[in-house]
Every structure is written in C-alpha cells, then in structure tokens.
C-alpha cells in the first residue's frame, strides 16, 4: 500500500553466571568505553569527572577524522586501551589511535548495492563489539564479520540471513554474551519473519536461533515450545506467507546477573491486524521484550509492550539495565522507552512490570494495569480498519533508536522524546498476499509536524474523516513537541526539558558522574548541559548534523568526548531545511573534544541553488500515463527520492540530459547499482519505467520555468519540499 507523509509462558529461575562477563557492582564506563552502550548495563553513563561544570566551557576540538562517506552515522564508538573502534554506513569499520585520531586500519565489507532496496531506513550501522582480540560488525547485507582487532583482517564471517528470498538486512550492533556473539536482523516492514541468532565468538559456528513469531502451523512443528504457545495468539488464517515481521534490529543486551539475553522485538507486518491476524489475538512475540537463556536460547520470560499493535510500535529501542529502589527494596530492573509512548521499568528476574507511565500523548492506551501486565486500551483505540484514525504516538515513535543515558546517582533518564500523532488508514482492501522482497506494511500513513497544515493536500474524504477523529483536538491543541528530557523512571515525570529544533531533530545522549549531559543536534550543534537543570554550559557549532550518542574515555590522563556526525536513517531522503546537512552538506566525520582543544572546522554553506535544467520534450504522453507514473513513483521510489533539492537521494526533478538519456539503464539494468541505486527490472516493466519517467519530466518542466523566473527576478530558490511521498 501507499504511505504518504508530510513532515508468563516459561517459568523464571535465577542462574549463576559462569561467563567471563560476571556482573560487578561498578556502574558506568571508566577510562575505557568497552561497548556501544558504555558499560555492561548499556547506560551511556560515564564515571569520569575530569570534564565537569567548572571547566567544560574550555572544551575544544582535539582531533577529527573524515569517515569518507556522506550517508548516515548512528554508531557510538568503542575505546579499549587507547584504540577507538567504530562502524560507519554499510558496516564499514575504523580503528584509530584514540588520542590522536591516527588511522590504524579500516575495513569495508563487500555489499551488493541491490541490498539498498531492502533497507527501509538507510545504510545505517549502530556499532561494533570488541572481544577476545576480535572486532565484530554486521554488514547491511546481513553478513556478520569477526575482524582481527590489530590488523582488521577477516578472522571469520557468517551469513546471518535465514532466507534470501526475503528482504533481510542488518543495522544493529552485535552483542557479546560470554562466548557468544548475538545479532538480529531488520526488515519488519517488508516480508520477513523475525529471529535472533547466537554464534560462537571463536569459530562463528551457530549456537542457537530464536524465532520471534510462529510460522504457518500447516508447515510443520514450530521451532520451539515458546512458539507453540505463541501460535495460539495468532488467528489460524493469519497472513503467514508475508512473514509476520517481528525483526530484532537493535536493543539486544546481555544481563550477566541472570545469564540471559534480553531482546526487543519489532513491529508486525502487515500493520493492520485485520490483514495480519484476522480475528485478533495478542500476536506474540511482536513488540515484546523476550529474555532468553544465554546457553540454550530458550525463552525464560517475555513482556509484551504493545499487544495487538497496528501502528508500527517497535519494542526495539535501546534497553538500559539498572539496580533501583522499588518500594523500599533494591531490585534488578531494566528501563525501556519504546515507540508506544510508555516508560517501562521491568523486573529483570521475572519480566513483570514495576512501573508503566505514559511520557507522551497515547491514543491507543491510557494506562497500564501492573497486576495483569496489560494496557488499558482506549475506546477509540488505534483500529483504522473501518476508517482513518489519528493515532498518538506517530510511527516515528515517542522514542526510537537514539540512545538514552541513565545517571544512577540522580536516578534520572536523559532521552529525546517526540510527542506527535499521525494519520493511518487503509488505502485499499486489507493486504493478505506477500509482495516478495518489498514493503508489505499494508497501510497508508501520514505523519506531519502539523496535520492541520497537511489537511488541504489530502483527498476530501480522507481529510473529513481525519477531522472527525477523537484525537483531532489534540492535533489542534499541540501539533507536536520534540524535546530532550530528564525523566524520573518510576513516575515518568519530566524533571526538565529543552526543545529541539524540530520533529526530525532527534539524537542520542551521554551522562557523566560530573553532572553533565552531552548531545548533538541535526542543526550541527554539540551541547553539554547541567544534569540537574538542563542549562547549556557549553556548545560548539560543528556544521555537521549529529544524531548518534556521544561517548567519553580517558587516554594518557586526558578525558575526551567523541561523537560521530552525519545525517541519515529513517526518512533519510527527507532532509529538514533547518539541518546542517541541508545547509552545508553531509560529509561524515568523527569529532573528538578535550579541555583546551581548538575550534571545530565548519564546512562552508552549500552554493545557492540553480534552476532545474530544462527537461526533454514530453510528447505523445497521455494524462493516464502520467497518473500511472505518479502512482508507481510513490509506491516504489519516493521512500528515498523525496524530490527535495538537497536530500539524501537525488532530486529527480533536476535530472540533467545525460541522466534522462540513461534513465532506463539506471532503473531497469542497474547502471548505478555499485553506487547504491538498485535496479528494478524484477518489479517494473519497461512501460512502467517510461510512465515514471514521463511523470518526472512533467514535474521538471514547471519547476524549471518557476526557478528560472525567480533567478531572473533576483530571488532565492528554495525547493525544500513540504510534502514527502513514501511507500509502505
């Protein structure tokens, strides 16, 4: 379908850990930052205090490193014994001297550019793990590499994709659990069936695999007893062929206290339950946290955060482990803020919720029953089967992959939070048939920072139905808020908040024992804030969009703060005009700061836009052909090509004549596949490609005329699109 957008089953028991990662009382990272989350708990918290409120204003650039790409940076670096290891897009790996930035080695995986077609959210990679002399990274195509930490040579590699007829990719960081390395896969919007896999760190041999959703019972026994129980929560006539979704694309942590691997599970596919599982059911283990025995991979407990979800509410956002006072007793807990808008505090031993409070407006549920472990669903709910619904939170989520930080001294959770709704509806009959290796979400979604502003562009029946929904007043009262918040985990209450630049300004955080919170912005700023008040104590303008979480480490007695800079990820083709990427380009780089460092080199502004080139003649093309081209472009191309002048992918209203001449060769034959533009010969016929081309030519002509007139009048050109067309 089309997406339009405008801006417990198993007994729990405690196991004594015999792994080399035995839990310690030490919370937070020290001189080293040994994994992307910083410590065993994934807290993004540092015990270092050399940089503090008294001297943070003296921070300056220690060194920078050009990552050599311009696509997306989401990783948090790892530092061990003076060496920094990190990943870039596609699964590139960099090893650098952590004090000077001197490159030691780099690794570039061999990834077929066709894989880009199966990545919903860009070529992202969220980090590496380093263990026993090896650096582990998962490339976009799902190949897991173990690299020699000294040389970068491949020690072993394994293909983690279970079925190459489906659209699997990998974007998350691996997780080390004793002698195992754990990795999941992405692709829940496509035609996948989720799973997570454990491999031996020494050999790469598969140890176990846990499937997150059942297969068609007619195909034979399920792979585990956990799935035997889960299949009872799906309708017998579910759309098994599509796969069900439930991919584990991030949020996998190892809990050494209970020797368990905790996995966040993604959304279901298709989105509407009427298509995915007609007749209802909780659809386990979609949107669940599942705790798996490290040695066997068997289910210990689960907690479902969004039963019967229809709104893309992944439970794959970063998990933080902690020991907290709950009811006067110290409890081992996990802190989790998934897309669905609630803040959960979960007992790590039992999987029982200890607190569940909304942190944004939530139209699908208004509270949680801690005794039953179930949400109280609202009467209007989020079921858009019988007509459009405005649903809060929006599909980008109240929280997403951007890491949060937890300061145990202050009992405060620092995170970006987005409070926004979107419109969901069926654009046709419920999708029940698989569309191979393609988006199978089966719903139309309109998300916007201001649905009122978007309304005039909608078909009248859709607009009128939207304005009659129960949440339309919410839209009118407050279109959205995008904030960095300091939150009390047990109550969900905000201690302080500072606004972000816009709804696409989302970022990760770092907290330190010296009472500082660091974060970047897509406008290109780096901030250090007072952890108690949110007051900005230092900032630097980098001129490069920052989404990834900063980290800190110490080498030779000097504390450094580092962050990777570069725009991309979900919605990467729709670059906000206020972003540094839109204004100054998107050269990806590592930025490392220290007390007494120098200024940050800021890239120059991009040159002024020039008028779109004149298009070729459009002759003998009927209005029906152009309409067909528009439909095909929206369904297949617009998720990347937003037709903004300065976006992640080229503005196809600005094609030069040589590109027009080779249009068929590019789209059908894969002329630019090595550069990341996949071919579409298996999906589009030559006549369909000609219709798409005609539609684009029809857009380019009026744009050329308009911009030529603006330039002649001495007026600036700004073709930033306010309307995004994507295909889900």
Q: Determine the pLDDT at residue 329.
A: 94
Between helix 686-712 and helix 623-636 the angle, nearest 10°, is 90
What pLDDT sits at residue 405?
98
User: What residues does each domain of the chain span?
Assistant: 3-595, 623-726
Q: What is the pTM of this model?
A: 0.95
Longest dimension (CA), the chain: 78
SS3 of 517-539: EEEECCCCEEEEEECCCCCEEEE
pLDDT for residue 151: 98
**In the predicted model, is pLDDT for residue 15 greater than 90?**
no
Q: Minimal CA–CA distance to 416: which of 321, 486, 516?
A: 486
What pairing do the DSSP bridges indicate for beta strands 509-512 and 45-46?
Answer: parallel
The owner of tokens 């020991």 is 323
Q: Stretch 36-56: mean pLDDT, rounded? A: 98
User: What average pLDDT does the chain have?
Assistant: 93
Q: What is the pLDDT of residues 543-568, one digit of tens each?
A: 999 999 999 999 999 999 999 999 99
Is the pLDDT score of 2 beyond 80? Answer: no
Catalytically annotated residue among 191, 255, 312, 314: 312
Beta bridge partners of 591: 64, 563
Residue 309: cis peptide before it, omega within 30 degrees of 0? no
d(CA 567, CA 547): 7
Backbone phi, psi, residue 253, to 5°: -130, 155
CB atoms within 10 A of CB 536: 12
pLDDT tier at 198 (50, 70, 90 boundaries)?
very high
DSSP state of 5: E
Assigned CATH topology for domain 3-595: Methanol Dehydrogenase; Chain A (2.140.10)
Angstrom distance (rounded) from CA 586 to CA 603 = 9
Q: How many residues in the chain?
A: 728
Contact (Cβ atoms closer than 8 angstroms) between residue 398 and residue 492:
no
Q: CA–CA separation, 149 vs 158, rounded Å? A: 18
* Percent above pLDDT 90 for the chain: 87
Look up tokens 């490609």; give the residue: 689
pLDDT at 382: 77
Q: Is residue 393 reached through a cis peptide bond, with omega within 30 degrees of 0 on the bond before it? A: yes
Distance from C-alpha of 509 to C-alpha of 518, rounded to nearest angstrom: 6
Query: 567 CB contacts (<8 Å, ≥6 apart)?
Result: 72, 522, 545, 547, 575, 579, 580, 581, 586, 648
Note the pLDDT of residue 369: 96
pLDDT score recorded for residue 12: 31
Position 619 scores a pLDDT of 86
Write the DSSP symbol of residue 513.
T
Instruction: Report H helices in 36-77.
Output: none
**Higher pLDDT pick, 514 / 618:** 514
Which among 614, 637, 618 has a CA at the least distance from the CA of 694?
A: 618
**Across 17-31, 74-88, 231-245, 512-526, least confident range:** 17-31
Interval 88-107: pLDDT, tens = 999 999 999 999 999 999 99
The DSSP letter of residue 173 is P
CA proximity to 490, closest of 359, 365, 378, 399: 359
Whether 418 contacts 506, CB under 8 Å: yes
CB-based contact 509:484 (threshold 8 Å): yes
- Find, among 561, 415, 556, the residue nearest to 494 by Cα: 415
Cα–Cα distance for residue pair 503/724, rounded to 1 Å: 14
3-595 and 623-726 in the same fold:
no
Classify residue 415 by burial, with Cβ atoms within 10 Å: 0-12, 13-18, 19+.
buried
Say which DSSP state 451 is in: H
Please give the C-alpha separations between residue 453 and each of 330, 388, 582, 608, in angstroms, as whole numbers. 49, 17, 22, 28
Q: Write out pLDDT tens, residues 369-411.
A: 999 999 999 977 778 988 999 999 999 999 999 999 999 999 9
For residue 32, cis peptide bond before it (omega within 30 degrees of 0): no
C-alpha dist (Å) from residue 202 to 84, 85, 136, 182:
22, 19, 11, 13
Q: d(Cα 716, Cα 705) in Å, to the nearest integer?
A: 14
- Read off the pLDDT of each residue in 149-164 and give the average, rounded to a whole number: 98
* CATH number of the domain located at residue range(s) 623-726 in this protein: 1.10.760.10
Distance of CA 111 to the CA centre of its chain: 20
Segment 507-516 shows an average pLDDT of 98
Tokens for 622, please give them: 């009927």
Known catalytic membership, residue 282: no
Above pLDDT 70, what percent of the chain? 95
Per-residue model confidence as pLDDT tens digits over 241-266: 999 999 999 989 999 999 999 999 99
Q: What is the 3-state secondary structure (H, E, C) of 307-375?
A: CCCCCCCCCCCCCEEEEEEECCEEEEEEEECCCCCEEEEEECCCCCEEEEEECCCCCCEEEEECCCCEE
Q: Which regions of 589-727 does DSSP assign to beta strands (E)?
A: 589-595, 724-726
| SS3 category, 580 | helix
For residue 135, name the pLDDT band (cuts at 50, 70, 90): very high
Task: State yes or no: pLDDT of 447 exceeds 80.
Answer: no
User: Tell me: the pLDDT tens digits for 651-702?
Assistant: 999 999 999 999 999 999 999 999 999 999 999 999 999 999 999 999 999 9
Q: How far apart are CA 585 and CA 580, in angstroms?
A: 7
Could you give the CA distance from residue 649 to residue 647 in angstroms, rounded to a whole number? 6
pLDDT at 720: 54
CB 259 within 8 A of CB 295: yes
Q: What whole-number distance in Å separates Cα of residue 343 and Cα of residue 404?
A: 12
Q: 4 Cβ partners below 8 Å, 6+ apart?
A: 444, 445, 446, 634, 723, 724, 725, 726
Distance CA 309, CA 265 (A): 12
Q: What is the DSSP letter of 623?
A: H
Residues 566-613 have pLDDT tens digits of 999 988 888 999 999 999 999 999 999 999 999 999 999 999 999 999
pLDDT at 457: 84
Distances (CA, A) of 438 to 250, 309, 425, 638: 21, 21, 20, 14
Q: Which residues contact 331 (CB under 8 A, 6 or more apart)?
A: 323, 324, 325, 347, 354
């Amino acid at each position: 379908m089309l997406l339009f957008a405008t801006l417990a089953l198993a007994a729990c028991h405690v196991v004594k850990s015999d792994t080399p990662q035995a839990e310690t009382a030490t919370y937070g990272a020290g001189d080293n930052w040994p994994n992307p989350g910083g410590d065993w708990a994934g807290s993004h918290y540092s015990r270092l205090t050399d940089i503090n409120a008294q001297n943070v204003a003296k921070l300056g650039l220690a060194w920078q490193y050009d990552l050599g790409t311009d696509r997306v940076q989401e990783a948090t670096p790892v530092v061990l014994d003076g060496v920094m290891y990190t990943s870039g897009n596609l699964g590139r790996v960099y090893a650098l001297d952590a004090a000077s930035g001197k490159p030691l080695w780099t690794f570039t995986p061999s990834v077929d550019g066709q894989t880009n077609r199966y990545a919903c959210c860009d070529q992202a990679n969220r980090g590496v793990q380093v263990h026993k002399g090896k650096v582990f990274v998962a490339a976009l195509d799902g190949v897991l590499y173990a690299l020699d930490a000294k040389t970068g040579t491949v020690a072993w590699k394994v293909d983690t994709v279970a079925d190459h007829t489906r659209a699997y990719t990998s974007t998350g960081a691996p997780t080390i659990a004793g002698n195992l390395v754990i990795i999941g896969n992405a692709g829940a919007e496509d035609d996948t069936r989720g799973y997570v896999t454990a491999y031996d760190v020494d050999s790469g041999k598969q140890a176990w695999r846990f499937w997150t959703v059942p297969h068609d019972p007619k195909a034979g026994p399920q792979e585990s007893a956990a799935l035997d129980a889960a299949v009872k929560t799906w309708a017998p006539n579910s759309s098994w062929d599509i796969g069900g979704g439930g991919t584990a694309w991030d949020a996998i942590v190892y809990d050494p206290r209970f020797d368990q691997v905790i996995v966040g599970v993604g959304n279901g596919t298709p989105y509407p339950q009427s298509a995915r599982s007609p007749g209802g059911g909780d659809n386990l283990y979609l949107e669940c946290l599942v705790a798996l025995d490290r040695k066997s991979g068997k289910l210990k407990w689960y907690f479902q955060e969004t039963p019967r979800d229809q709104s893309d509410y992944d439970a794959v956002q970063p998990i933080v482990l902690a020991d907290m006072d709950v009811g006067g007793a110290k409890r081992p807990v996990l802190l989790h803020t998934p897309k669905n808008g609630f803040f959960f505090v979960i007992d790590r031993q039992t999987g029982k919720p200890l607190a569940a409070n909304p942190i944004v407006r939530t139209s699908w549920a208004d509270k949680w029953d801690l005794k039953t472990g179930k949400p109280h669903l609202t009467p209007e709910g989020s079921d858009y089967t019988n007509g459009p619904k405005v649903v809060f939170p929006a599909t980008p989520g109240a929280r997403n992959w951007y890491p949060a930080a937890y300061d145990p001294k202050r009992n405060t959770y620092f995170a970006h939070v987005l409070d926004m709704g979107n419109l969901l509806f069926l654009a046709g009959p419920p999708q029940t048939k698989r569309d191979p290796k393609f988006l199978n979400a089966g719903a139309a979604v309109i998300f916007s920072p201001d649905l009122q502003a978007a309304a005039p562009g909608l078909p009248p029946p859709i607009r009128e139905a939207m304005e009659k929904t129960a949440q339309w007043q919410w839209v009118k009262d407050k279109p959205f808020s995008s904030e960095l918040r300091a939150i009390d985990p047990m109550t969900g209450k905000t201690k302080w908040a500072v606004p972000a630049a816009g709804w696409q300004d989302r970022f990760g955080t770092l907290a330190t024992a010296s009472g500082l919170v660091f974060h970047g912005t897509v406008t290109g700023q780096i901030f250090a804030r007072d952890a108690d008040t949110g007051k900005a104590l230092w900032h630097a303008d980098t001129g490069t969009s920052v989404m990834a979480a900063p980290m800190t480490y110490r080498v030779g007695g000097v504390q450094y703060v580092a962050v990777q800079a570069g725009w991309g990820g979900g919605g990467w083709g729709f670059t906000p005009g206020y972003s540094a990427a839109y204004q100054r380009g998107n050269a990806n780089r590592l930025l490392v700061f220290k007390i007494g460092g120098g200024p940050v080199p800021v890239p120059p502004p991009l040159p002024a836009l020039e008028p779109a080139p004149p298009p070729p003649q459009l002759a003998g093309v009927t209005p029906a052909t152009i309409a067909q081209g528009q439909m095909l472009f929206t369904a297949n191309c617009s998720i990347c090509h937003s037709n903004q002048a300065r976006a992640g992918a080229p503005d196809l209203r600005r094609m030069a004549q040589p590109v027009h001449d080779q249009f068929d060769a590019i789209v059908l034959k894969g002329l630019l596949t090595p550069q990341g533009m996949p071919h579409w010969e298996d999906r589009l016929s030559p006549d369909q490609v000609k219709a798409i081309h005609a539609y684009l030519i029809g857009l380019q002509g009026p744009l050329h005329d308009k911009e030529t007139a603006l330039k002649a009048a001495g007026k600036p050109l700004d073709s930033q699109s306010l309307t995004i067309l994507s295909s889900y």
